Amino acid sequence: MARITRYLPHLVLAVGAAAMLLPFYWMVLTSVRSASEIFDISLLPTVQGFNGPENYGRAASQVPMGRFMLNGVIVCLGILVVQVVTAVPAAYALAKLPFPGRGLFMTLVIAALCVPMQALALPLFVGLAATDLLNTYFAMMAPFFLSVFAIFLFRQAFRSYPDEIIEAARLDGFSEMEICWGLVLRAALPSLAAFSVFSIVAHWNDLYWPMIVISDINLAPPPLGMLLFADVESGANYGALMAGATLITAPMVVCFLLARRHFIAGITMTGVK
Amino acid sequence: MSTVAVPMQAVPRRRALDARRRILLNGLAFTAPAALLMLAIYIVPMIVLAGFAVTDYRLGALAFEFVGLKNFADAFSDPVFMRAMWNTLIYSLIVIPFGVALGLGAALLVHGTRRTRSFWEVAYFLPVTATLVAMATVWQFLLHPSIGPVNAAIRWLGFEPVYFLSNPQVLIPTLALIGVWQVLGFNMVLFLAGLNSIPKDLYEAARLDGAKNPLDRFFVVTWPMLGPTTMFVIVTTSISALKVFETVAVLSKGRSGSETMLFALYLEGFEYANTGYAAALTLIFLAIVLVLSIGQTLHLDRKVHY
C-alpha cells in the first residue's frame, strides 16, 4: 500500500507526459519513415527503410526551408536588438532619473501593457500599406520595436540598484550612458537574459503578424513558411511535412533543452504573450 | 565674512543645479526613442483605429463616409461574427478549466518529486516552446481519421473513428484539446512557483491542528495560499484562449463555421479589406481582452512572475 502511494504520482505523471510528448515522438518518427510506412499506424519504430534524408531533402527543396529559418533569425534578432536599445535607457530614466512627465510616461507604459498586439494590427497594416512597406523585414519587425514589457521589467530590476554607486560614478566623471549600460544593466543581466528568451521565443513562433504583412514566400518566417508548406503538400507527403515541422520546431526545443532554467524563467515571467 | 561666504556657497549650489538639470535632460533624452515609438506604435494607431471604426472605409478606397455606430450594430447582427464569438466562448470554456486544473494537478504531483523533477518539467513544458503552427500540422496527422494513431487506438478499442477535424460538432472541442495541451505546462510552472513560496511550517502547523491527511492539508493550506497564483493563471489562460488563432489558421481555416474571434477579424480586416468594419470588430475584441488584461497588469505591477 505504502509502495503504491509512493509510485502513484510518478505513474500519473508518466501517463500525462506520454500524452504531452506523443506529438513530438510521432513527428520525429514520421519524418524518417518511408512513404509506404506512413500508413502503418504502429507507434513502434518499425523501420523498413530509413527515409530521413529523402524526407528532409524534400522538405528543403519543396519550399525554401533554409530561407525561412534565416528570416526567423533576422527578424528575431532585429526585434530584440531594437527592443533592448530603446527599452534599457527608458527603463533607467524611469527608475533613476527624475524628469518632467515621468509619471505620465509610466502610466502610458502600464496602459500599453494591457493592449494586445492584435488590436494594433489593423492601423499598423494600413500605415505600412500606405507607405508601400508591406513585404519587407521592416514591416515584420516594426510593431515590436517598442516592448513596454521590457521597459516595465527592466525598470523593476534597475530600481533596486543603489543610488550611492550611481552618485559616485557621476562624481568620477562617468557619463549617464556609461552608468546605464556599464553599471546598472550589468547588475541586471538575469533580467536581460530572461527577456531575450521571452522575446525570441515569442517572435520565432508568431504567425499572426507575418501572415498579415508578408505574401512573398522568400520573406516568410518559419511559422508562415510551415503554413505555406502544409498547403502545398496538403497531406500528400506526411514524411516531408513532418520533416519540415521538425526543422522548424528544433531550434527552440534544442535551446530549451540546453538552457532549461533560463527558458522557463523567460517564458513564464509573464502571461502577456 | 558674508561677502566671502556668498560665492563659496553659490558655486556648489550652481553645480548642484547644473547636475540636476543634466539629470533632467538625460531623463528626457533617454526616454525620447521609446516615447516616439510609443506614439507611432500605440497612440497614433489607437486613434486611427477608433477613427476607422466609425467609417465605412475599405482599404484602397478613395472615399469613405462617417457611419457612426453602424459597424458595431452590424457586428452584433452579423451571424459570422456572432458564431465566432460563440466558438471562442466554447473554446475558452474548455481550455480555461482544463488548462488550469490539469496544470495545478501536474504541479502538485511534480512538487512532490525530487530526483525526477527536471524530467517532468521538460516533458510538460516542451509544448510551450514548440512552434504551434508546426505542432498543429502534427496534430492534424495524429487525429487523421484513417492514418492517424489516435483513431487507430479508438478503432482498436472497438469504437467508430472520430472525424476530429471534419465533423463541425467536435471541431472546436478538438482545437480546445490542442489548446489545453499547449497551455498546461505553462500553468504548471506558474503553479510550481506558487507552491515553492508556501512556507513549510504552515503544513506543520496544520498537521498539529489536526489536518491529518494530505487532502485536508491541501484545502487548509495549499489552496488558500495559492489564491493569487490561481487568479493570475486563470486570467492569463483566459487571455490566451481569447486570442486563439494558429490552430484555426492551420487546422480548420474557419471551415464549417469554426471561425474564432481573431480569425474572423483577420478575414474581415486583411483578406476582405473591410477596414472600417474590422476596426469595429477589433474594438469589441479589445474591450473583452482589456477586462482581463487590466487585472493581469495590476497583478504584474505588484509582483513580477519569475
Taking alpha carbons only, the member of B304, B274, B284, B279 closest to residue B84 is: B284
Rounded-to-integer distance, Cα A204 and Cα A40, Å: 33
Q: Is residue A209 part of a domain?
A: yes
CA distance B287 to chain A (A): 10
Question: What residues of chain B lie within 8 A of the CB of A26, using their CB?
Answer: 138, 141-142, 149
> How many A×B Cβ pairs under 8 Å?
302
Q: pLDDT tens, A209-267?
A: 999 999 998 999 999 999 988 887 665 678 888 888 999 999 989 988 888 887 787 77
Instruction: Give pLDDT, residue A238.
Output: 80
Q: Is residue A49 part of a domain?
A: no
Q: Is residue A139 part of a domain?
A: yes
Element (H, E) at A176: helix A176-178
Q: Is residue A255 part of a domain?
A: yes
Domain membership of residue A253 as a residue range: 64-270
At B55 the three-state DSSP class reads strand
Q: Is residue A59 part of a domain?
A: no
Cβ within 8 Å, pair B30-A242: no
Task: List the CATH number of the domain containing A113.
Answer: 1.10.3720.10
Question: What residues of chain A lie within 8 A of the CB of B19, using their CB?
Answer: 170
Q: Is residue A258 part of a domain?
A: yes
Q: Is residue A13 part of a domain?
A: no
Question: What residues of chain B lie within 8 A of the CB of A12, using their CB?
Answer: 109
Q: Is residue A207 part of a domain?
A: yes
- Structurally, chain A folds into a number of domains equal to 1
Which position has the grid cell 526543422? A247
Instruction: Give pLDDT, residue A123.
Output: 94
CA distance B101 to chain A (A): 13
* Rounded mean pLDDT, B5-19: 60
Is the pTM above the cut of 0.90? no
DSSP H helical segments within chain B, as ranges? 2-38, 44-53, 70-77, 79-112, 117-129, 132-142, 149-156, 168-196, 200-208, 214-217, 223-225, 227-242, 246-247, 261-266, 275-302
Cβ within 8 Å, pair B122-A260: yes
Give the fold, CATH level 3, of B79-301.
Answer: MetI-like fold (1.10.3720)
At A235 the three-state DSSP class reads coil
* For chain B, domain boundaries: 79-301
Q: pLDDT tens, B188-232?
A: 998 998 888 888 888 888 888 887 787 888 888 888 888 888 888
